[in-house]
Amino acid sequence: MRFALDEYAHLKSPIHRWNPQYKLIGLLTLMFAFATVEDLRLLPVISTLTIILYLLSRLPLSFLLTRLRYPGIFLFTVVAILPFFSGETVIWQWGIITLRQEGLLAVVLIVCRFLAIFITGLVLFGTSSFLNLIKAMRSLGLSPILADMMLLSYRYLFELAYQLNTMQRSTRLRGFKPTQFSWRNLQVYAALAGSLLVRSYQQSQEIYKAMQLRGYGTSMKSPQSKRSIDVYSVIALIITLAIAIGLIGLEFLL
Amino acid sequence: MSQTTPEQINSSSTDLVDKNGIIVEDLVFSYPNQNPILEEISLTLKPGEQIALLGKTGTGKSTLMENLVGLKQPNSGKILIQGISLEPKNLFEVRRQIGFGFQEPNDQLFMPTILEDVIFGPCNYGVSPEEATEQAQELLADFGLADVTHRPVHELSGGQKRLAALAAILALNPSILILDEPTNGLDPWWRRHLAEILPELPVQVLLIASHDLNWVRRVTQRAMVLQQGKIRVDMPTEQLLQDSSVLESCGLPLDY
């Protein structure tokens, strides 16, 4: 099983060049700005900005489409009923099925905002390695414990998946039919989940010992790395922040 | 058959002028409300020695090693690491002297890439990230892992993980190296490769717990056998492995 969080982090693009710290601030601010948009007249603006951002990142379309699948299904289940029940103005009717204008516009707003925020998030996480992003978050004030937890979760997610895969294979080799729905099958799944929980707990204790043995928890301060100012990243941040503030300002004015 | 008894070891330790290495005196360890796992263990591991710690599963080899690195606190007794008494208040300083290799390298490689793992220890001890990275890259290149420094750990083979874990330990330049079952899960090629590397490492004391008697014969000169919480036998490895009566009495296989 292969996880592809950093699959395209090695590409070369203007967004990849952007320092992760500045990128984090800039794109998160942009995502918040997108979230504040309520006026439909701003939707073409945020859509255009998102498309430009994605094109600049040189991430393949397949990357977006594969990651959009499950969130898209979730979004669909949430908004699908809105056009039929939300609002007063009826624009189409067939028998008892009524399409309402306000509901339809609400769907357009929600979908556009969702896509803008989601795609911006993909650009953020797809153009930097997970490790560099965690380091950037840590340098911006994320609690060291939270940062370590995220790093360890990322690292051992693959181990857990591998162990689960191995256990599942072992059950199949002994005649277990996973597609059958039965009380016994549920018990087996519960046992698998319980085993995984216990194993991961035991492993976490061993890992903590290994970390302690290499000085974790009582560390000396290491000298700060000399950081030169990355002009490109600063300019990109200023532009992004200006766009975000502009969007919020426009929303406020309109 | 000549064997050094624990009493002889104990008396010789107090006469040592050079207190480098590991000295253990009357170590007792038990879990709460349980019988002792280690009973009055006394031993001396001198600089220049490569020692095998043998014994059946469950005799306390891992427990003894975890006591030596301060992961477990003994009920009584004394442990000296390079002349410094191992106590909770000085674990941070003492642990820099000891590299401990776990049975399972996955437990030891907890950063997303092996380069990050190798610089983890030095950065905790005040080395700058740039310097630690430079040293780590040299170390990984020495171990033939230069091409995989930025690979995620889960993509490495068992042998590569073992070497990467070793590199991560050695990054702190320990003078003592303790390895728990280092050949677990390794194929013959990797076992041989490890046997070639270990004696060349710049450590003063090498202590290896292993069930692989053929392998320890190649790597160690001295062997101790733990049985029922005590060091039953302490003699040259080759001599031990050729003495079937000793092997049998210690519960070790004759047909290794």
Predicted local confidence at residue A223, as pLDDT: 59
Q: Does A174 touch chain B (CB under 8 A)?
A: no
Tell whether A163 is within 8 A of chain B (Cβ). no
Q: Taking 70 as the threshold, does the pLDDT of residue B11 lie above it? A: no
Predicted local distance difference test score (pLDDT) of residue B14:
44
Confirm or reject contact between A215 and chain B (CB < 8 A). Answer: yes
pLDDT in tens, A4-38: 567 888 889 999 999 999 999 999 999 999 999 99
B21: pLDDT strictly greater than 50 = yes
Structure tokens at A152: 């360890």
Tokens representing A224 are 């700060």
Quote ipTM for the complex: 0.77
Q: Is B124 on the interface with A (CB under 8 A)?
A: yes
Mean pLDDT of A79-90: 87
Q: Is the minimum CB–CB distance between B107 and chain A shorter than 8 Å?
A: yes
Question: What are B180's strand-pairing partners?
Answer: B209
Secondary structure of chain B as H, E, C letters: CCCCCHHHHHHHHHHCCCCCCEEEEEEEECCCCCCCCEEEEEEEECCCCEEEEECCCCCCHHHHHHHHCCCCCCCEEEEEECCEECCHHHHHHHHCCEEEECCCHHHCCCCCEHHHHHHHHHHHECCCHHHHHHHHHHHHHHCCCHHHCCCEHHHCCHHHHHHHHHHHHHCCCCCEEEEECCCCCCCHHHHHHHHHHHHHCCCCEEEEECCCHHHHHHHCCEEEEEECCEEEEEEEHHHHHHCHHHHHHCCCCCCC
Over 80: is that where the pLDDT of A226 sits? Answer: no
In 10 A of CB A209, how many CB atoms?
18
Kindly list the domain boundaries of chain A, sorted by start residue.
14-137+230-253, 143-213
Interface probe with B: pick from A162, A214, A228, most Cβ of B within 10 Å:
A214
CA B147/CA B155 separation, integer angstroms? 12
Give me the mean pLDDT over the A118-132 stretch.
91
Distance, in angstroms, between B95 CA and closest chain A CA?
6
Cβ contact B123–A209 (<8 Å): no
Question: What is the distance in angstroms between the Cα of B251 and the nearest Cα belonging to chain A?
Answer: 28
Question: In this prediction, what percent of chain B has a pLDDT beyond 70?
Answer: 92
pLDDT number for residue B12: 43
pLDDT digits (tens, 9 = 90+) for A153-176: 888 887 888 888 888 888 878 777
Paired tokens of B37: 């796992």
The Cα of A114 is separated from the nearest Cα of chain B by a number of Å equal to: 30
User: Does B129 contact A214 at a Cβ distance shorter than 8 Å?
Assistant: no
Contact residues, chain B, for A203 at CB < 8 Å: 106-107
How high is the pLDDT of residue B24?
A: 94
Which residues between 185 and 214 in chain A have a beta carbon less than 8 angstroms from any beta carbon of chain B? 203, 206-207, 209-214
Under 8 Å between Cβ of B165 and B181? no
Q: A3 pLDDT exceeds 70?
A: no
Q: Is residue A36 a contact partner of residue A248, using CB atoms and an 8 Å limit?
A: yes
Is pLDDT larger for residue A6 or for residue B186? B186
pTM of the model: 0.74
**Is B112's Cβ below 8 Å from some Cβ in A?**
yes
pLDDT band at A225 (very low <50, low <70, confident <90, very high): low
Please report, rounded to a whole number, the percentage of residues in chain A having pLDDT higher than 70.
Answer: 94
Q: Do A131 and B107 touch (CB under 8 A)?
A: no
pLDDT at residue A249 is higher than 90: yes
**Of B13-17, B49-53, B59-63, B86-90, highest mean pLDDT:** B49-53
**pLDDT for the residue numbered B4:** 40
Query: Chain B contacts of A208, Cβ < 8 Å?
Result: none
Whether A210 and B128 lie within 8 Å, measured CB to CB = no
- Look over chain A and give the mean of its residue pLDDT values, rounded to a whole number: 87
Separation CA B200–CA B220 (nearest Å): 12
